[in-house]
Structure 1
Amino acid sequence: MKIALLGYGKMGKVIEKIALERGHEIVLRKTRDNSFDGLENADVAIEFSIPDAAVENISQCLNKNVPVISGTTGWLEEYHNIVKLCEEKKGAFIYGSNFSLGVNIFFELNEYLAKMMSKLDQYKVSMEEIHHTQKLDAPSGTAISLAKGVIENSNYSSWALSDAKDDEILIDAKRIENVPGTHSVFYDSDIDSIEIKHTAHSREGFALGSVVAAEWIIGKQGVFTMKDVLDLK
C-alpha cells in the first residue's frame, strides 16, 4: 500500500515507522515547506497535521480521489463541508479524534456506563484529560468525543471547561510535558465515586490505529468512523 503522510511531525514519523514495519511504502511526506506533488500516486493518505492545515489537506485528497484518514483535531466546524465534498466526489474518509484501538474500546465502555448511570441523578459527571504541552487544542478531541458519548446517553446537554452548570460536564484540561494522553471519566456522589480511565504510554497506539484504518478503507466509499473499522456498531 502506498501512503501519503500529510503532516510529518512527531506523529507522522511514528506512523511512518509503523507503516514501514507493516510492509507499506511512503510516497509523500507533506510539510508546510513542500507541495502536494505525489499525492495522486498514493493509495491512501494519513493526515496528522495542525487545525489550520487539516481542511486543505483533506480536501486535496478527496479532490484527487485518494481515501484519507484524519486524526487532526480542532477543525470540526468544517466537518460538514468535508462530508459534503466526500459525498460529491464519491470518496472515502475517516475522521477520528483518537485512533488508538484501546481508546475506541474506551469510547464504547464510556457510552455503556453513561446508559447505566443515566437514571442515577445523585452522581455528577466530570472529566479530566492530560496531554503534552505541544497539543494546541483544549479540551482534546478525545475528551470532546467522550463528553458527546455521555451527552447522547444521559440528560446532560453540553460540556464546559469551567463553571459548569448542572446540565454541563466539566472537563479539566491539563498540559504537562511528555504526556501522550490520559483521559478519565468520573461519576461522583456523596456516598462513592466511579472512575474509568485510559492512559496512553506512547504515540505508537495512535499510529497503529491510523494505519489499520488506512488498510481497512481501501476500496470503500463513504464517510466512516473507527466503529466501522473495528466492527463495533
Structure 2
Amino acid sequence: MKIALVGYGRMGKIIDEIALKRGHEVVARLKQTPTAENLNNPDVVIEFSLPEVAFDNIKACLENGIPVISGTTGWLERKPEIENIAVQNETAFLYGSNFSLGVNLFFALNEKLADLMKNVDAYSCQLEEIHHIHKLDAPSGTAISLAEGIIKNNPKFEAWKLEDTQEKQLGIFAIREDEVPGTHSVYYRSEVDEIEIKHTAHNRNGFALGAVVAAEWIKDKKGNFTMKDVLGL
C-alpha cells in the first residue's frame, strides 16, 4: 500500500519503519497541514499529530477521499463531526485511543470486569495512567476509553473526572513520569481487599504495529470503525 504519515514525531517515525518492513511505500511524511498535493495520492493516511491540529488534518484527508487511521488524543469532542465527514465523502475513518493488541484485549477485559462488579457495592473503583513527561493531554485517550468502558457497563458511574472517584464520577489519576511509554491500571478496592487489572507497555512498537495493521485492514472500506472491528473483538 501507499501510506501517508501526517504528524512525523516519535510515533510517526516508528510507524514509518514498521510500514516499510511490512512492504508498504511511505509516500508522504508531513509535519504541515495535508493537501491533495503534498499527500502524494496515498491509499491511506496514518495520523499521529497534536490535539490542536488533528481535526483539520483529518478533515483535509477525508475531504480528499482518503481513509484515515488516527491515534491523536485530546480532540475527541469533535469526533462526531469527523465521522460525518467520512460518511459524506464516502471514505473511512478509524480512531484508536491505543492501537496495541494487548491494550485492546485489556479494554475487553475491563468491560467484562465492570459488568461483574456492577452489583457488588463493597468496592470502589479508581483508574490510574502513567505516561512520559512529553505527553500533552491528560488523562490519556486510553484511560478515557477504559473509563467509558466502565461507565457503559456499570450504572454506578455517569462520568469520569481527573483525580479521586467521587460518587457517580469515576476518578482517573494522570501521572507524568520520565520516559514511561504507557501504564494503565484499574483498581477495585474494598475494606478487606483489592482487585487490580493492569497493562504495561514496554515500548511504542506495539502501538505503531497496530496502526499499520489497521491501515491494512481499512483499505477499500467505507464508514467509521474502531480497533474492535479490526481485531474482531
With the length of structure 1 as denominator, give the TM-score of the two structures: 0.97
Q: 1:87-115 deviations in whole A, cap 9, x for unaligned?
A: 11111000010011110000000000000
> How far apart are the structure 2 equivalents of 1:139 and 1:117?
23
Looking at structure 2, the residues matched to 163 and 198 of structure 1 have their Cα atoms a distance apart, in angstroms, of 20
For the 8 Å contact 2:34–2:61, the answer to whether it is kept is no
Residue type at the aligned position of 1:212? V
Query: Where does residue 27 of structure 2 map in the other structure?
Result: 27
Amino acid at match of 1:182: T
- For the 8 Å contact 2:147–2:170, the answer to whether it is kept is yes
Q: Is the 8 A contact 1:129 1:182 kept in 2?
A: yes
Aligned residues: percent identity? Answer: 59
What SS is found at the alignment partner of 1:90? coil
Work out the CA distance in 2 between the residues paired with 1:174 and 1:42. Answer: 37
Q: What's the offset of the Cα at 1:35?
A: 5.4
Partner-residue secondary structure (3-state), 1:46: strand
Give how far 1:38 is off.
Answer: 3.4
Q: What does residue range 183-202 of structure 1 map to in structure 2 within 5 Å? A: 183-202=184-203
Structure 1: how far apart are the matches of 2:230 and 2:99?
10
- Determine if the alignment matches structure 1 residue 226 to structure 2 residue 212: no
Q: Deviations over 1:20-70 (max 9, x none)?
A: 0000010010103x7533325100000000001111111111111111000
Displacement over 6 Å in runs of 4+: none
1:99 corresponds in structure 2 to: 99
Partner of 1:216: 217
- Map of 1:58 onto structure 2: 58
Q: Where does residue 117 of structure 1 map in the other structure?
A: 117
The within-5 A match list for 1:63-212 is: 63-154=63-154, 155-212=156-213
Does the residue aligned with 1:173 lie in a helix, a strand or coil?
strand
Name stretches of at least 5 consecutive residues in structure 1 with no aligned partner.
none
**Partners of 1:27 and 1:38 within 8 A in 2:** no
In the alignment of these two chains, the number of paired residues is 231
Matched letter for residue 231 of structure 1: G
Q: SS where residue 41 of structure 1 aligns?
A: coil
Any gaps of 5 or more consecutive residues in structure 2?
none
CA distance in 1: counterparts of 2:208 and 2:164, whole angstroms: 35
Q: Which amino acid aligns with 2:116?
A: M
**Distance between the aligned counterparts of 2:164 and 2:206, measured in 1?**
33
Alignment of 1:31-46 (within 5 A): 31-32=31-32, 36=35, 37-46=37-46
Distance 1:87 1:206 in 2: 26
Q: What TM-score do the two structures reach when normalised by structure 2?
A: 0.97
CA drift at 1:164: 3.4
